[in-house]
Amino acid sequence: MSHLDIILQADELAIGYGKKSQAATIAKDMSIKLEKGKLTCLLGPNGVGKSTLIKTIMGQIPPMKGKIELNGKTLSEIGPKELSKRIAVVLTDKVRLGNLTVLELVALGRTPHTNWLGNLSEQDHLKIDRAIQLTHISYIQDNVLSELSDGQLQKVMIARALAQDGDLLILDEPTAHLDLINRFEVMQLLRSIAHEEKKSILVVTHDLEIAIDTADEFWLMQCGLPLVKGTPEDLIINGQINLLLPSEQLSFDKITGKVLILNDVSYPILEGDSYLIFWMKLFLRKNHSVKVNEISKISIKESPFSIKIETQQNQFRFETFNDFKSYLEG
């Protein structure tokens, strides 16, 4: 990594609100670095300080300690106009500009670059077209915003941020209001923009599974602990991902990539393909009405699907079911 690839960095950063005796430090001793061409996801529980960190990175609130450098220049020395050329932000609040068309909203992304009359140059039009093309929204470019679905609107907001053409894009929970398919699409889109357009993208998200699939780097924030950074894969394998799950009842399963609720089920002998055993274990953990301690063996197979339950209380007995529902009700 050359120093030119570092868009933003800070060492021993402390963030928070207020001054002197009124000061409330939210997090401290943070070293952060955002690089060109990388998608970074910031994760942590509600109230830990994720928004405070991004507001500090955006220059909206000053650091309580340490300084942030953007393209090698201290953030506090960069004026607001210059800052808005370099950092584009997509916040969670829904825009209430219902009568604007998609194209008009994306064009607003060029505001920091236009003259006081707001006239768009040829260069501005090229950037707007490119942003629309990258986010695949040309088919709705003449629609008014009030007609869009939440998924479409989120892509339009990303297009506006792209039209701004800063090196750094910051998004606060971009998948918050979206269904599963749109959540995947938006995060995949952000990944491809980071990689292909060489942008640095920082996303605040609670969407752990999709973040694992898309992020190059994770920043994990946990109350009172230093910021933990690394690739999702490293953090999963070394177990640090569990910092996101401080409750002793939750654990991140390294094999399936899912958060599991731990309870004291001791399983009987389970026979079958490993994926069928995975779903059988989930079923047994969830359904306390199934008396696991009375079962000696469960055999499960797919084709034709069957669940064979063997018990060995006073005498050997077995029952076969052809789906989980009939087992539960049987």
The binding site for ligand ATP (CB under 6 A) comprises 17, 24, 26, 44, 46-52
Nearest distance from C-beta of residue 46 to ligand ATP, angstroms:
3
Nearest distance from C-beta of residue 52 to ligand ATP, angstroms:
3
CB-nearer residue toward ligand ATP: 61 or 265: 61
Number of alpha helices (DSSP H) and beta strands (DSSP E) in the chain? 10, 16
Nearest distance from C-beta of residue 172 to ligand ATP, angstroms:
8
Nearest distance from C-beta of residue 42 to ligand ATP, angstroms:
9
CB-nearer residue toward ligand ATP: 44 or 272: 44
SS3 273: coil
Q: How does DSSP assign 97-144, residue by residue?
A: -TTSBHHHHHHHTTGGGS-TT----HHHHHHHHHHHHHTT-GGGTTSB
Nearest distance from C-beta of residue 257 to ligand ATP, angstroms:
22
Nearest distance from C-beta of residue 214 to ligand ATP, angstroms:
19
Nearest distance from C-beta of residue 269 to ligand ATP, angstroms:
43
Q: Are 187 and 43 in contact (CB under 8 A)?
A: no
Q: Are 218 and 232 in contact (CB under 8 A)?
A: yes
Strand duo 168-172 + 200-204: pairing: parallel
Please, which residues have CB within 8 angstroms of residue 159's CB and are 6 or more apart in sequence?
A: 102, 106, 109, 131, 132, 134, 135, 137
Q: Output the six-digit token pair for 236.
A: 């999963």
Q: Output the six-digit token pair for 190.
A: 């952000």
CB-nearer residue toward ligand ATP: 131 or 201: 201
CB-nearer residue toward ligand ATP: 57 or 163: 57
CB-nearer residue toward ligand ATP: 3 or 20: 20
* Closest among 163, 155, 152 to 129, alpha carbons compared: 163
CB-nearer residue toward ligand ATP: 19 or 291: 19
Q: Are 229 and 216 in contact (CB under 8 A)?
A: no
d(CA 243, CA 30): 16
Scanning the chain, the segments in alpha helix (DSSP H) are 50-57, 80-86, 102-108, 122-134, 150-164, 180-196, 208-214, 232-237, 274-286, 324-329
Nearest distance from C-beta of residue 66 to ligand ATP, angstroms:
17
Q: Output the six-digit token pair for 131.
A: 């942003």
Please, which residues have CB within 8 angstroms of residue 113's CB and are 6 or more apart in sequence?
A: 85, 124, 164, 165
Nearest distance from C-beta of residue 207 to ligand ATP, angstroms:
12
CB-nearer residue toward ligand ATP: 17 or 275: 17
CB-nearer residue toward ligand ATP: 44 or 166: 44
CB-nearer residue toward ligand ATP: 24 or 255: 24
